Amino acid sequence: MHQKAPTNATVQIVKNGPYKISGNLPLTRQVIGTNAGGESVKWVQGPAIATQAQYALCRCGQSASKPFCDGSHAKVGFDGTETASRESYQDQAKGIRGPTMSLTDAESLCGFARFCDPHGQVWNLVNQTDNPAASKHFVREAGDCPSGRLVAWDNASGQALEPTYEPSIGLIEDPAKGCSGPVWLRGGVQVVAADGFKYEVRNRVTLCRCGASQNKPFCDGTHAAINFSDKQ
């Protein structure tokens, strides 16, 4: 699961402050698209957001110029203490082995995007991976999980079945729940803690931007419970 990060593509966490982005990472809106039943079924890319080679994204949820930092973290006394596990994904995840594919699940990383729910849920689909239709749904649902909580694996090769992403950042919007979601890092971007620790580089990671996650710097879905919005 460890991926090589592109040169200088880094998210530096500032103590009780913003995410300092470097490396010319493109920034776009990423909208959770739903079917008629309200289930998450696709990602819809929204407009690109103009940025510089380096920029700072709000982490406290209080900026008046979201998604960018305006210094509000200092005014509100934001506590951005990082409490998330620093173990590797594999050390955190539990596994379910199916007929031809397997699933690993690190529950604490859940960003509440709900792509895991359609077609009977991904945890049941893994047991049906000898069925071509179920197998297709399984791989897509695991791969659409923005936080990388869920990963599909091919049993024969032992390889992760990951979607291909260029190094980039998405700002998740969740119209079905009427809220804005986390910062979505894609394609292997290095996250550096406020104390200098380098988190494992992964293809999919979601970082809290509502300020209320109990698993900082990662998203834990609290944005939905508090109806976080980055609209001004």
pLDDT tens string 2-56: 444 445 899 999 999 999 999 999 999 999 999 999 999 999 999 999 999 999 9
User: Whole-angstrom Cα distance, residue 42 to residue 143?
Assistant: 11
Give me the count of residues in the chain.
Answer: 232
CA distance 134 to 119: 8
Cα atoms in the 13 Å half-sphere on the side-chain side of 81: 4
What distance in Å separates the CA atoms of residue 108 and residue 60, rounded to the nearest whole number? 20
Residue 1 has pLDDT above 80, yes or no: no
Q: ∠201-204-209 over CA atoms, to 5°?
A: 95
3-state secondary structure (DSSP) of residue 127: helix
Average pLDDT, the chain: 96
Q: Which helix (H) or strand (E) holds 174?
A: strand 168-174
* Residues with Cβ within 8 Å of residue 211, at least 6 apart in sequence: 59, 60, 61, 62, 78, 80
> Is the Cβ–Cβ distance between 174 and 180 less than 8 Å?
yes
Contacts of 13 (CB under 8 A, 6+ apart): 19, 20, 59, 80, 82, 191, 192, 193, 194, 217
Nearest to 139 by CA among 113, 120, 163: 163
pLDDT for the residue numbered 232 = 61
| % of the chain beyond a pLDDT of 70 | 97
